[in-house]
Chains A and B, each alone.
Chain A
Amino acid sequence: MSTLVSLITAAVTFGTVLMYGTLGEILTEKSGNLNLGVEGIMYMGGAFGLAGAFYYEKAAGAAASGPAAIILAILCAFAAGAFASAIYSFLTITLRTNQNVTGLALSIFGTGVGQFAGEFMRLSEGGYVALSNHLKDAFSASIWPQALINAPVLGNILFSHTVFFYLAVVLAVLMFLFFRKTRYGMYLTAVGESPSTSDAAGINITRYKYLATIIGGGISAIGGMVYIMTTAGCVWNHEGLSGVGWLAVALVIFCMWRPLNAIWGSVLFGAMMIMYLRVSLPFIPTEIYKILPYVVTVIVLIITSMRNSRDKQPPASLGMNYFREER
């Protein structure tokens, strides 16, 4: 029982990282932009989020407060991701470059910038960038009172997570409401499905694509920050972060571009990624666990294309640029 509980909590911790990456990419892809730069974006989010919290503590000294550091880290990560996605948006939307190639270029650029920033901080601070324990605790502490966490069985599963998890869930619900209940969400979906129709209907395609991609990139970047600040223990660790962005891209497919699916989907993927540490089955090698998420995603991809049901498809214009002049 306790193994299961600890598995679930660990899955949620890693799943939270994925959830941000995925939610951001869902928003981006809904506008028809396939941003393959998530890997780079999350690197940048991780490095700059850490930088934000670290330099804040350096400036504030012992007076540094946990909530302020968390907010700053989120803002820094968001800004870094938004900046990276702004480059992507400008190239693909305004300059009409190929989305796949631009996304990969952004991955190269972003991982470079993230690593550069991480290394640079380490060098300029003389070897070690780490937050004080009291701030570290602020990042990994639960927001609920101890009494709730101690509640039997459900306490740990529901209440022991960091603030980032609950924020991500709220974000997923908000995004769901945005797509389903608001005019702007509907417009955005329309843009992703058929830019030319939306254009004819008088929707400002360029604005929707830009906003969705930039905000989406910012959200994805928060995932990188969450990884560094919780799982990696507030130290720059590029090895652990590598591959997370691609996993988020996979998860978007698995979730069928629906924000609510991202909540359980990312916890499930999180479980698959960490299961080998917690539960060992004698006849399945650990490395095979780790490819499970990708295999599952491929199967989902194949099944949806075979069934060809209309409501479970990628946005129709995904990956294609829209040129009004070339209609």
Chain B
Amino acid sequence: MSEEKKTPFIRLARRSAMDRRRMWIIRVSSIVFALILGFIPILLTGSNPLEAYGVIIQGSLSRPVYIRQTVKIAIPLLGCALAIAPCFKMKFWNIGAEGQITMGAVAATYFALYWYDRVPHVMLLVIMALTGAAAGGLWALIPAFFKAKWNTNETLFTLMMNYIAIGIVAWLQGGPWEGRKGSQLIPMFNDAARLPDVLGVHCGWIMVLILVVLMHIYMTKTKQGYEIAVIGDSANTARYAGMNVGYIIMRTMFISGAISGFVGFMIVSGANYTLYSGVANGVGFTSITVAWLSQLNSFAMIFISMMLAVLQKGANTLQTRMDVPASISSIITGILLFCMLSCEFFINYRLIFRKRQDTEAAE
């Protein structure tokens, strides 16, 4: 009797493996559950939730124009999620993508502002892309260097680097790069510095899709990808196997920062045509959740980033049509993230409830 008392009401056990079908059922139902929870804030505003979701879908996907705008939101999310994947695989918690995007955008903007009349169009774009990537990579290299050398906490370090980068742009905006005096704005880019459109969206979408494939190959088929995976599982194992862990950390962070910087280039050159301090606009943070929810799988990121983009674009329509504040998209995104994060628990663990009979509990 006293034995039984010690068995907790619920116990946990790791599942060995779950078949794919059940795994997907759990994941999809977590999304559905999140959308149902999303009813609550919509109901609070006195609107009909089903109608509201209808408006969200309509406002983001019903017309080619809307789809283009939605894709435009998804591009940086996807690109940045790809950048974050190798770091997180390595268990290097890089939450500095926001700053890396910003620094990439700064470098690209420099050439857009001062070189547009010196080099031909395509050449200029290539220079902007490469310098953007380099700037993002170098910005990411700073925390990586200290992590490799002195094991400085990378989560907090990369976080701080975001605000330093944003502050630098704020300074450029009101200082050296200011267009009209007192406007606090950097002038719009010359046409030569703008990314051309393909099918109505700037051609960044093609580059991002290529990146998806490249990142997939890099992570699963190359030696470097393998090294990243080993360090993620156990840095000590990697060390004993003769890998130079510090070097790999720095290399991976450089690649990650470079992709983020490239995304920064795409944002200024393809979408905003100018630079301001809010250029990253939270993409660096949201894309972390995109990467994580996709289980760092490049192809799944396409789906997740599109889903978040639909919510964001649709919510703007919702605000104009039904007077529901557009911040509803952040709430629903948050709920979605919570539910999808938690559902992994039910995939990885089995709940064992205390049985009446002692014999049954020993299954």
Contact = CB atoms under 8 A, between A and B. Distances in A.
B325 A301 contact: no
B150 A108 contact: no
A136 interface: no
Nearest to B315: A112
Interface stretch (A58-66, A92-100, A176-184, A195-203): A92-100
B167 A287 contact: yes
Interface string A312-326: 001000110000011
Contacts of A107: 285
A193 interface: no
Given A36-B95, A301-B153, A109 B174 contact: no
Interface stretch (A74-82, A160-168, A215-223, A242-250): A242-250
Contact of A108 (B157, B173, B289): B289
A98 B345 CA distance: 11
A281 interface: no
A104 B325 contact: no
B342 A97 contact: yes
B339 to A, nearest CB: 10
Interface in B241-290: 282, 285-286, 288-289
A123 B292 CA distance: 36
Contacts of B289: 101, 104-105, 108
Given A105-B334, A249-B159, A288 B167 contact: yes
A1 interface: no
A241 interface: no
Interface in B141-185: 146, 150-153, 155-157, 159-164, 167-168, 170-171, 173-175
Interface stretch (A11-19, A49-57, A113-121, A259-267): A113-121
Contact of B338 (A109, A250, A302, A306): A109
A285 B175 contact: yes
Contacts of B163: 243, 246-247, 250, 291, 294
Contacts of B355: none
Nearest to B331: A112
Interface residues of B, number: 53
B157 A301 contact: yes
B152 to A, nearest CB: 4
Contacts of B334: 40, 105-106, 108-110, 112-113
Nearest to B291: A101
B45 interface: yes
A31 interface: no
A170 interface: no
B7 interface: no
A34 interface: yes
B160 A105 contact: no
Contacts of B155: 34, 100, 319
Nearest to B168: A291
Nearest to A288: B171
Tell me if B's interface is mostly helix, strand, loop or mixed.
helix
Contacts of A87: 338
A195 B174 CA distance: 49
B325 A119 contact: yes
Nearest to B165: A291
Interface string B321-355: 00101011111111101100110110001000000
B61 to A, nearest CB: 22
B361 interface: no
B12 interface: yes
B167 A109 contact: no
B115 interface: no
Given A105-B337, A108-B289, A112-B331, A301 B152 contact: yes
B41 interface: yes
A286 B325 CA distance: 34
A318 B173 CA distance: 37
Interface in B281-327: 282, 285-286, 288-289, 292, 323, 325, 327
B345 A96 contact: yes
Given A100-B95, A113-B330, A287-B175, 17 more contacts: A95-B341, A101-B337, A108-B337, A116-B327, A120-B325, A246-B162, A249-B156, A287-B173, A288-B171, A291-B168, A294-B160, A298-B160, A298-B161, A301-B160, A305-B146, A306-B152, A325-B12
Interface of A: 34, 36, 40, 87, 91, 95-98, 100-102, 104-113, 115-116, 119-120, 123, 243, 246-247, 249-250, 253, 285-288, 290-291, 294-295, 297-298, 301-302, 305-306, 308, 314, 318-319, 325-326
